[in-house]
């Protein structure tokens, strides 16, 4: 019963994951392709760049203890802020369907990203602080389940129903309303006095091994973000497919679905990815071999896209299923390692913020490419795929440095992490 109630409460994570994925994968690409075809690459990269900055601003605001304690000061205030935040998220997301003005479209997206990240981090902090060990385990499992479900469903849904505006707006408001009801009926039972329970972890300086790990993770996240955010344009301008929105959404959905399935399968069936040795100090090793295979698959997949080895959509869709599996392996191994490297708690904090910073780097690169294309009359899609391919190769080299560094620690008998 406790598990069912917590899963019901945590539908809010499906809501946030659903709107975040939709605004990354399909909706803005279709909007700019339809309304500003000549400037779609520049506007889209600028759009994502400003959205990422808004997300980071929301995260930083949520870390302010004064704001957090104001939110949980009383059940009535908590419920009011919950309703305002969720309905603002739903309203600004709905605005992305019917707003035609470019400035208002940007404003809706920026506000949605800021409020959603602010609310997500505050409510997650509230749930964690009010949970015992058993409840926390259920919370983490349900959080992961709903986020992965949103990542998988959103691109598949919007690839086929992007033009059905009324249905999409009704759907998002239904999800928002249910999420609000479930949170309000649960959060009021949680004591708001957490001042004495707030944990402050010491932030240790990352050593070279961890720095290489962070660099490797950031490179993969940057490349995948760039590829997904421009997939529809690549299919339209480079492959000249008909109905690129549906086909691009389907490809993104397949990548996401196979990544989600792989993460779940690894979590349940695979052997632990972290190896422990009973020395005087705990030694933890990042599993480089499966990551190396996964990155090679991503490189080959990107190379096929770049060289146009096949123009068959079915073949590309099949290749993207392998890319999704590879991305899932990467996500599972890096998340598992970052969570298990407990002797340096600063690593998990850095890792949790990597998607936003990787997105920021990716969109800055995309904006520079779009501006370069305008001045040099180059092929935007080909240049983007070449840059993504280069980032994947660089990540493979970084992974090699990780294995070399790890080997040197083994030979010296030192703690490698």
Read off φ and ψ for residue 253, nearest 5 degrees.
Answer: -65, -40
3-state SS class at 284: strand
How far, in Å, CA of 22 to CA of 25, rounded? Answer: 5
Check residue 206 and give its pLDDT: 78
Assigned token pair, 239: 């492959």
Determine the pLDDT at residue 68.
67
Please indicate whether residue 6 or residue 130 has the higher confidence score (pLDDT). Answer: 6
Number of Cβ within 10 Å of residue 186's Cβ equals 16
Give tens-digit pLDDT for 144-201. Answer: 788 888 888 888 888 778 778 899 999 999 999 999 998 888 644 555 444 444 444 4
Q: How far apart (Å, rounded) are the C-alpha atoms in residues 247 and 252?
A: 9
More reliable by pLDDT, 293 or 126: 293
- In terms of DSSP bridges, do strands 275-278 and 282-285 run parallel, antiparallel, or are they unpaired? antiparallel
Phi, psi of 194, rounded to the nearest 5 degrees = -120, 10
- 400 C-beta neighbours (distance < 10 Å), count: 14
Residue 44 pLDDT: 86
Q: Is the distance from CB of 28 to CB of 47 less than 8 angstroms?
A: yes
Q: Is 279 helix (H, G, I), strand (E, B) or coil?
A: coil
Confidence of residue 415 (pLDDT cuts 50, 70, 90): very low
Tokens linked to 194: 């957490």
Length of the chain: 417
Q: Residue 410 — very low, low, confident or very high, per pLDDT cuts 50/70/90? A: low
Quick one: CA torsion of 67, 198, 148, 14, rounded to 10 degrees? -40
Percent of the chain with pLDDT over 90: 32
Could you give all domains of the chain from N- to C-terminal order, each with its CATH number?
Answer: 2-197 (1.20.1250.20), 208-412 (1.20.1250.20)
Give the range with max mean pLDDT: 9-18, 334-343, 345-354: 9-18
pLDDT at 321: 93
The mean per-residue pLDDT over the stretch 267-292 comes to 56
| Three-class DSSP category at 200 | coil
Q: How far apart are CA 67 and CA 72, in angstroms?
A: 9
pTM: 0.77
- Euclidean distance between CA atoms 110 and 113, whole angstroms: 5
pLDDT at 12 over 80: yes
Query: How many CA atoms does the CB half-sphere of 117 hold within 13 Å?
Result: 23
Residues with Cβ < 8 Å from 131, sequence gap 6 or more?
A: 139
Tell me: the pLDDT tens digits for 151-166? 888 888 887 787 788 9
């Amino acid at each position: 019963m406790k598990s069912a109630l917590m899963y019901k409460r945590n539908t809010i994570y499906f809501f946030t994951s659903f709107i975040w994925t939709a605004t990354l994968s399909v909706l803005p690409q279709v909007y700019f392709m339809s309304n500003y075809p000549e400037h779609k690459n520049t506007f889209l990269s600028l759009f994502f760049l400003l959205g990422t900055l808004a997300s980071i601003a929301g995260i930083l605001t949520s870390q302010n203890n004064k704001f957090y304690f104001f939110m949980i000061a009383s059940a009535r205030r908590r419920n009011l802020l919950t309703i305002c935040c969720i309905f603002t998220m739903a309203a600004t997301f709905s605005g992305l369907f019917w707003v035609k003005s470019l400035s208002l479209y940007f404003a809706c997206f920026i506000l949605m990203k800021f409020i959603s990240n602010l609310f997500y981090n505050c409510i997650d902090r509230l749930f964690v602080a009010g949970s015992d060990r058993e409840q926390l385990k259920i919370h983490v499992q349900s959080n992961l389940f709903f986020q992965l479900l949103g990542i998988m469903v959103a691109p598949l849904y919007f690839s086929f129903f992007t033009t059905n505006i009324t249905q999409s707006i009704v759907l998002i408001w239904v999800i928002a309303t249910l999420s609000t009801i479930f949170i309000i009926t649960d959060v009021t039972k949680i004591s708001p006095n957490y001042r004495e329970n707030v944990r402050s972890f010491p932030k240790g300086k990352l050593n070279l091994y961890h720095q290489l790990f962070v660099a490797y993770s950031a490179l993969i996240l940057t490349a995948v973000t760039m590829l997904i955010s421009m997939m529809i344009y690549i299919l339209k301008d480079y492959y000249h497919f008909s109905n690129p929105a549906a086909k691009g959404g389907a490809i993104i959905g397949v990548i996401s679905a196979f990544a989600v399935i792989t993460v779940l399968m690894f979590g349940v069936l695979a052997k632990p990815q972290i190896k422990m040795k009973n020395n005087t100090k705990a030694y933890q090793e990042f599993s480089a071999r499966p990551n190396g295979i996964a990155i090679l698959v991503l490189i080959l997949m990107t190379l096929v896209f770049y060289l146009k080895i096949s123009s068959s959509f079915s073949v590309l869709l099949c290749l993207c299923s392998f890319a999704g599996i590879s991305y899932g392996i990467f996500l599972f191994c890096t998340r598992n390692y970052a969570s298990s490297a407990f002797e340096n708690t600063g690593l998990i904090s850095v890792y949790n913020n990597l998607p936003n910073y990787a997105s920021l780097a990716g969109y800055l690169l995309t904006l520079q490419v779009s501006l370069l294309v305008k001045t040099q009359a180059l092929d935007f899609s080909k240049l983007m795929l070449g840059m993504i391919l280069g980032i994947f190769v660089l990540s493979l080299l970084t992974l090699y440095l990780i294995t070399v560094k790890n080997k040197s620690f083994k030979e010296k008998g030192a703690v490698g992490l």
